[in-house]
Structure 1
């Protein structure tokens, strides 16, 4: 039997498995089975915590569809709560620093990247105001914050057809690694409303990397000044970034319950 914790960050929920002592073989099919909300445990992402030679822990992230991804901001905030102390975390996106704060965590998410081939895009393009769009959406921005994001700033967030546009854009050939799709509305000098269609997971209650990417894009376009409050369906995150620096994300993390499961059954 293996132990796990169910956790969430603003309703973006995770099955967190500790593989530091007892290794857990995680395949795409097994991650997908565990994440299944009807036949498995159920989660948006499965998080595997392991050992790292250059950090306190390592973190592997699997989406609900079984695909492994580079970064997850909401999951990163859960790690110091899961481990019980401030930690450095080795991820595919790089080395992250997570510190516990009252009710959650503050995470240095590293520096954003803007080059077209770092997003990645299929061909060269300005990533601040892209020469591409879909249907009646305005020209978006693109930012890589450890994983790829495209951001649309709209006048009326409530009028967007997320279920139609999200998968259409996620799977567009312009994005060879697929993409997280952010629909944002600026509602104040330091306040953004955001809904995210997450690559491999669909609409989520919250997306920490999406909040980071959106705040960065809005600051680059001079639509807001940091620190920025990003309001997602699940709640608020505070994102602070100065051009040339790293991104600091602060927000809640919640431990729901602990459990045991036989991973060989999945």
Structure 2
């Protein structure tokens, strides 16, 4: 899929995730909007996955360590055919499989996640298993930047470098906001790139809402043989919805009817503009 089509797809996914959050009256809106471009690049262009065979041995693995921002993942898995799109209507309802964190009862989900700091250790284990089994799959792990305060991430980072897991790609959704404020106020992270390099990782820092940059970074990994890759994806929390962008309060906030209508009008305008660009080309 070309990057223009990926951008259009991302806008549609944003509309879908806002819909399910609005319907359920719960959800992590800001983080799901910020990570939508990352997940769109992975699932529609980069990763080898098969909705018809979700346990395919050679599939690439994706672990959403920042599992609270699951809404974008649910919408993408449904759109890819891992489960019926109609099931999205059950998000966060009693008895649903589509709960507020990844649930491995759902096809396409590798592990239950959401306890922050657990995703990268799981991913390192999967990548090590691939090496020992001689299998070619890669493991992609999406972390939040607030999550970088968890010590288990750094234990996993050390293990990833020690075992030379160049099939492991960590991604930090660096939107600089968490539920209680900015990351630098809560627990300063900068210089984040130097810290990961000190742990033996190859680090790439990109605009995490730039589809071209995302696709290039993910397809290029591993850049250095014998080193895991860390992609610092500098994103905007609430990306794509003007009134939610860079607003900490939208970490866990539900749009009302008028806000949903406004968000849809903005996203539809983005889709229309991208479609016009395609016609010019």
Question: Does TM, scored on the shorter chain, surpass 0.5?
Answer: no
Using the size of structure 2 for normalisation, the TM-score is: 0.27
Using the size of structure 1 for normalisation, the TM-score is: 0.28
Instruction: Tell me which protein shows more helix as a share of its residues.
Output: 2
Instruction: Tell me which protein shows more strand as a share of its residues.
Output: 1
Query: Taking CA–CA contacts closer than 8 Å with sequence separation of 6 or more, which of the two structures ends up with the larger relative contact order?
Result: 2
